[in-house]
Amino acid sequence: MASSAHLSSGGVDLYLEIIDGALLVQYWGATVAGNISEAIATSEKSIANSAFDLATHPGIMREHSRGFLGHPTISGHRDGSAWSTKFVLSWIDSTSKSVKVILTDDFAELKFSVEMNLDSFGMLKTSYELTNTGNSDYTLDELLYWLPLSDRATQTLDFSGRWSNERNPQRRDIATGTWIRDSREGRSGHNYTITQMALTERSSFGTGEVWAVSLGWSGNSQYLVERTFDGMQAIGAGEVLMPGEIILKTGEKYCAPDFYATYSRNGLDGIAENFHSHIRARPEHPKKPRPLTLNMWEAIYFDHNESKIKSLVDAAAEIGVERMVLDDGWFFERRNDRAGLGDWVVDEKIWPLGLDPIIDYIDKKGMEFGLWFEGEMVNPDSQLFRNHPDWILQEGGRTPPTWRHQLVLDLANPEVYHYLLEKINAILSNRKIKYIKWDHNRVLVDAGNSSRAAIHRQTKAIYRLFAELKSCNPGLEIESCASGGARIDLGVINYIDRFWTSDNNDALERQNNQRWTMQVIPPELLGTHIGPNPSHQTGRTHNLSFRATTALFGHAGIEWDISNLSQEEISTLKSWADFYKKNRKLLHNGKNVRIDYPDDSGFLYGVVSADKSHALFSYVQLRTSIAVHPPVIILRELDPLRQYKVSAVFPAGMPEMMVVTPPPWITAKNPLTISGSALMEIGLPTPILRPENALLIELQ
């Protein structure tokens, strides 16, 4: 049997060894030239004073039995016994891109299967499975993935958030101890980090080393960075299991959610590129151009008035919108958010002829139709709840506290699952419904099923339901929404086609939110809409140019009552819509570049095509700069030898400026011709924009 495995792909190496039956990840990082096994052999450490007499090699299982004193990989027991494990290798098979391993513990009667695949983008995907091979029940309390972290990583970076303000970066020094980011909402959550990163102190968007991990899971989860007193560092993640949530009977197995890990020496943008490339290469990644979308929520809320909706459709058609989404409020008794959830039949009081007439109206205008659901939820004030009060997730006969006046259905109950499948399929039998927006507007608490915690099952059940809805309705696309961006993760991504990035449509707030959600998710999967003025969330007012430029860098859309706009606003939106359609190939396939702009009053970012022949950048003035002239616009990722035609473009009008005259290149009649090298070394003078304005620059 082999005693080592060496995976190498996409600029990343992973080197594993078997020592004393334990499986060790001896190295994870940049590709290493030469003989890695010899280098590893020389890295054996001292035996310290007051320590184990022989070198310890705890390996990926991080077991007490092998002298490991930090946070273990597995915690569990058989009614108190089998609490300590010592797994030994029983089988290994590897190539230069993958390794499969089986470890067994004959005393604890457990089998542990590992599969690791390293793709050509440097993304390592690991899957763990634990099987109970004994004759009694095995209670699994925790199963985490861990990878060793280089001593050079001295900081962590992850994201925190709340409703309407997701993905705020928090960066801190690594110290002895364990940094844990827990998510216990039963959905990934607004506060969910999407990725846990570790990095060198000076790492930035464009430079420095970054190690990143992400879990393919939408239920409870945990991310960890640990530095033990012996100086070893590791980064990990796993599902958070509630007490007794996983009890394996004889022969049963627990499949941990997939774990993704990647490394880059090209800073945070290098990590984003690895994630984006990996995600884009999946067979299920949406292929057709991302349709310009109008979501009606902030235009009409619960006021479903057919003639009003038709006037929205007319305006949308004039602008060039390609998909109209009817949001919450269409189903039985749903006049506000206090009633109706669960009763998935069209409310004939407001739609006497059903939805077909409006769907046909939209179809005739050449647009797709999309519809909102929130299948996992039920209002106590609904027929469904009155008929089946026992269909909710609950514990101890208690009704969990309501949140937005709703409770959570137990999707792992086959009756509930089939009810939903049948009701939703009945609506989708109108084949013109090509798209559903699927919401999840509350957290799960006290979420039990037959006196057992049920979040794991619930998460699997929603994945199953999404997959089944898609197979019953070929071509159906699903948008994952959870009060905005509370279910954005690498688990649900395999079943959906778009994320609603945030309920906050304020363009200024969106700048931060989109900048960081893109750290993992490519922009073509992130809904970015032009919101109303003033913003319904913050009350801020922004000109259309800023709102439209902000919404361009994603799967663009509108969420605003456009039925009574001026002709000028309609033609501005039309020009922006044309620009989006003309450039979406670039926006949705290119490399995302976030420049380390030297003044924190501005953001500078953009997208460069793979062949570097086309790029769009945006300079955003967040607030006034301290200097009269903000730092120059110096770009990255261009071809230094190529000549670029450079122009400021205004598909949605000019930004407002605080100048007598802007730099001449901004208003030049013809594009300037400048070499990539000059753009990356000398740059362009930045106009003095009013705060909360954005400039768009095109390079060809």
Give the closest residue to 541 by CA, choosing from 321, 691, 689. Answer: 691
Q: Measured from the CB atom, is 534 or 598 closer to ligand GLA?
A: 534
Per rule CB under 6 A, is residue 439 in the interface with ligand GLA? yes
Structural contact between residues 660 and 624, judged by C-beta atoms closer than 8 angstroms: no
Segment 274-313, which members bind ligand GLA (CB under 6 A)? Answer: 297
Using Cβ positions, the residue closest to ligand GLA within the complex turns out to be: 328
Q: Measured from the CB atom, is 26 or 218 closer to ligand GLA?
A: 218
Structural contact between residues 601 and 511, judged by C-beta atoms closer than 8 angstroms: no
Site track for ligand GLA across 308-327, x = CB under 6 A:
-------------------x
**Cα separation values, 345 from 326, 332, 341, Å:** 14, 6, 10
Query: What are the backbone dihedrals phi and psi of residue 668, each rounded to the nearest 5 degrees, phi first?
Result: -55, 140
Q: Measured from the CB atom, is 57 or 555 closer to ligand GLA?
A: 555
- How far is the first Cα of the chain from the last one, in angstroms, to the nearest whole number? 55
Segment 327-386, which members bind ligand GLA (CB under 6 A)? Answer: 327-328, 337, 372
Q: Which stretch binds ligand GLA (CB under 6 A): 201-209, 351-359, 476-484, 604-612?
A: 476-484
CA pseudo-torsion sign 312, 314, 316, 321? positive
Q: Measured from the CB atom, is 481 or 587 closer to ligand GLA?
A: 481
The alpha-carbon radius of gyration of the chain (Å, integer) is 27
Per rule CB under 6 A, is residue 484 in the interface with ligand GLA? yes
Q: Which stretch binds ligand GLA (CB under 6 A): 309-317, 444-452, 478-486, 609-617?
A: 478-486
Strand bridging mode 323-326 / 293-295:
parallel
Assigned token pair, 261: 């890990």
- Name the minimum Å distance from CB 542 to ligand GLA: 19
- Name the minimum Å distance from CB 337 to ligand GLA: 6
Rounded distance between C-alpha atoms, residue 153 and residue 203, angstroms:
10
Rounded distance between C-alpha atoms, residue 405 and residue 378, angstroms:
9
Q: Which stretch binds ligand GLA (CB under 6 A): 98-106, 237-245, 479-487, 688-696?
A: 479-487
DSSP for 50-61? SS-SS----GGG
Catalytic residues: 439, 503
> Within a 10 A sphere around the Cβ of 668, how many other Cβ atoms?
12
Per rule CB under 6 A, is residue 483 in the interface with ligand GLA? yes
* Number of residues lying near ligand GLA (CB under 6 A): 12
Give the closest residue to 315 by CA, choosing from 364, 240, 365. Answer: 365
Per rule CB under 6 A, is residue 625 in the interface with ligand GLA? no
Assigned token pair, 385: 């709840």
> Within a 10 A sphere around the Cβ of 381, how many other Cβ atoms?
16
Per rule CB under 6 A, is residue 438 in the interface with ligand GLA? no
Which one among 56, 132, 293, 441 touches ligand GLA, defined by CB under 6 A?
A: 441
Per rule CB under 6 A, is residue 501 in the interface with ligand GLA? no
Q: List strand residue ranges (DSSP E) for 228-284, in order.
A: 233-239, 246-248, 253-255, 259-264
- Name the minimum Å distance from CB 297 to ligand GLA: 5
Strand partners for 698: 616, 647
Q: Measured from the CB atom, is 327 or 343 closer to ligand GLA?
A: 327
- Name the minimum Å distance from CB 603 to ligand GLA: 25
- Name the minimum Å distance from CB 318 to ligand GLA: 24
Q: Measured from the CB atom, is 327 or 509 closer to ligand GLA?
A: 327
The site for ligand GLA (CB under 6 A) is made up of: 297, 327-328, 337, 372, 439, 441, 481, 483-484, 500, 503
